[in-house]
């Protein structure tokens, strides 16, 4: 009775887990959500009040599919501040970068088309590609991000329609694609005529090291601006509940994506758009970014240290330069899904790594989010996880 595509889509393990996160007393390292205590509530309220006061009926009326012109302008300026040269005409306002991903999939992928992803990769991107009935080609990654050499060996011109990559502090691994590999990836995309889907929700949350040039910027430098479709979002830097993100796309792609959006939801929320327009005009975002980065750095450090203290070498984690996630692993052969069952009983949750693999799941991996975990809670989380670990070890046959 259902369309074929629905048999390939699985419910998000993360969203399913979030139901547990609501239970009183549970410490969640599972969410990929920004810290609510870091929301600029005062600034959001002020912007909301001003936009409603000055917006008249337009705040509640239908708007343009591409987005409010002034917001597209402000986003283009924001992008230029990130080193991405673009104009307002290249911006499509979307319902979070998730919708950008879905629109890109609908515009670029036919059933059976191949899309390249990193292994592990963003879970909801895998869902979107499953919904598009795409064939997913997983490429291994390491601390420098996607292994572009491994991809280059397998990718011939015309093989794939798109390469999906989160270059900065990716979900779930927190890894950053190195500069050398960025250049290599853009070069490969040019040689093979493949579009790059650059998904960058986290790049602005860098707290260590220097920002690397985006794939969009590198493609422009290489004289091929049409090769990269760049996605980003206000979800991680301002508010996810407003459901606003954007796509930076070459004109002919943007036209198609806007056409798809007409049929998908007509346009994004007018109220949210005006709120964000007003907020951006206030200049508060630029002022807040260092505070946000500093707070997340502190949380990364606190959770890393607590895990080290309580779990020692049993749990290995990396040390990302930004974003919200630690990527961890226990000894090969162990299954973090079982560890989670025990951890839930102990009052702490995380996401087992298997969910982020389109194939060849590495069941001994896990994602630990520090974004909503204050330093004292990090200690509690690590203690509980250590208790769970001891029970987990005790039930293994010797």
Identify residues 157-216 at the interface with a second copy (CB under 8 A).
161, 195
Residue among 100 and 352 whose Cβ is closer to a second copy: 100
Question: How far, in Å, CA of 366 to CA of 384, rounded?
Answer: 16
Could you tell me the smallest distance in angstroms from the CB atom of residue 294 to a second copy? 20
CA max distance for the chain: 71
Find the binder of a second copy among 62, 157, 394, 397 (CB under 8 A).
62
Q: Does 58 bind a second copy (CB under 8 A)?
A: yes
Q: What are phi and psi of 29, to 5 degrees?
A: -105, 20
Residue among 12 and 147 whose Cβ is closer to a second copy: 12
Q: Does 50 bind a second copy (CB under 8 A)?
A: no
Find the binder of a second copy among 114, 128, 173, 377 (CB under 8 A).
128
Q: What is residue 282's DSSP assignment?
A: H
Question: How far, in Å, CA of 355 to CA of 11, rounded?
Answer: 10
Question: How far, in Å, CA of 71 to CA of 67, rounded?
Answer: 7
Identify residues 308-367 at the interface with a second copy (CB under 8 A).
none
Best CA proximity match to 81, nearest among 296, 257, 280: 280
Return the H-helix or E-strand segment holding 115: strand 114-119
Q: Does 88 bind a second copy (CB under 8 A)?
A: no
Identify residues 133-162 at the interface with a second copy (CB under 8 A).
161
- Joined together, the tokens standing for residue 193 give 């005529």
Question: How far, in Å, CA of 67 to CA of 77, rounded?
Answer: 15
Q: Does 395 bind a second copy (CB under 8 A)?
A: no
Could you tell me the smallest distance in angstroms from the CB atom of residue 352 to a second copy? 18
Residue among 156 and 398 whose Cβ is closer to a second copy: 156
Q: Does 13 bind a second copy (CB under 8 A)?
A: no
Please give the size of the binding site for a second copy, defined by CB under 8 A.
Answer: 69
Site string for a second copy, 259-298 (x = CB under 8 A): xx-xxxxxxxxxxx--x-----------------------
Best CA proximity match to 258, nearest among 134, 128, 89, 125: 89
């Amino acid at each position: 009775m259902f369309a074929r595509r629905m048999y390939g889509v699985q419910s998000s393990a993360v969203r399913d887990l979030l139901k547990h996160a609501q239970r009183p007393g549970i410490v969640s390292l599972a969410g990929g959500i920004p810290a609510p205590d870091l929301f600029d509530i005062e600034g959001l309220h002020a912007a909301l009040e001003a936009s409603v006061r000055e917006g008249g009926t337009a705040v509640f009326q239908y708007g343009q599919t591409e987005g409010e012109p002034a917001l597209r302008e402000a986003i283009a300026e924001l992008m230029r501040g990130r080193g991405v040269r673009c104009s307002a005409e290249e911006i499509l306002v979307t319902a979070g970068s998730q919708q950008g991903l879905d629109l890109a999939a609908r515009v670029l992928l036919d059933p059976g088309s191949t899309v390249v992803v990193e292994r592990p990769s963003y879970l909801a991107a895998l869902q979107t590609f499953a919904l598009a009935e795409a064939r997913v080609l997983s490429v291994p990654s390491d601390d420098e991000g996607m292994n572009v050499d491994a991809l280059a060996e397998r990718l011939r011109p015309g093989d794939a329609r798109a390469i999906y990559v989160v270059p900065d502090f990716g979900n779930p691994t927190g890894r950053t694609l190195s500069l050398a590999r960025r250049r290599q990836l853009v070069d490969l995309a040019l040689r093979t005529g493949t579009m790059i889907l650059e998904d960058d929700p986290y790049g602005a949350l860098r707290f260590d090291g220097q920002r690397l040039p985006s794939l969009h910027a590198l493609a422009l430098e290489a004289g091929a601006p049409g090769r990269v479709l760049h996605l980003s979002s206000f979800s991680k830097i301002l508010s996810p509940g407003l459901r606003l993100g954007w796509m930076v796309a070459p004109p002919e792609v943007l036209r198609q994506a806007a056409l798809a959006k007409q049929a998908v939801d007509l346009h994004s929320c007018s109220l949210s758009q005006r709120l964000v327009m007003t907020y951006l005009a206030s200049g508060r975002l630029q002022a807040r970014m260092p505070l946000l980065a500093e707070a997340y750095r502190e949380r990364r450090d606190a959770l890393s240290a607590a895990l080290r203290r309580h779990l020692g070498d049993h749990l290995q984690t990396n040390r990302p330069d930004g974003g919200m996630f630690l990527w961890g692993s226990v000894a090969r052969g162990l299954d973090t899904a079982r560890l989670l069952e025990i951890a839930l009983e102990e009052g702490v949750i995380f996401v087992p790594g298997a969910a982020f693999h389109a194939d060849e799941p590495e069941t001994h991996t896990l994602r630990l989010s520090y974004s909503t975990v204050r330093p004292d809670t990090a200690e509690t989380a690590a203690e509980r996880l250590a208790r769970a670990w001891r029970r987990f070890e005790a039930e293994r046959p010797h």
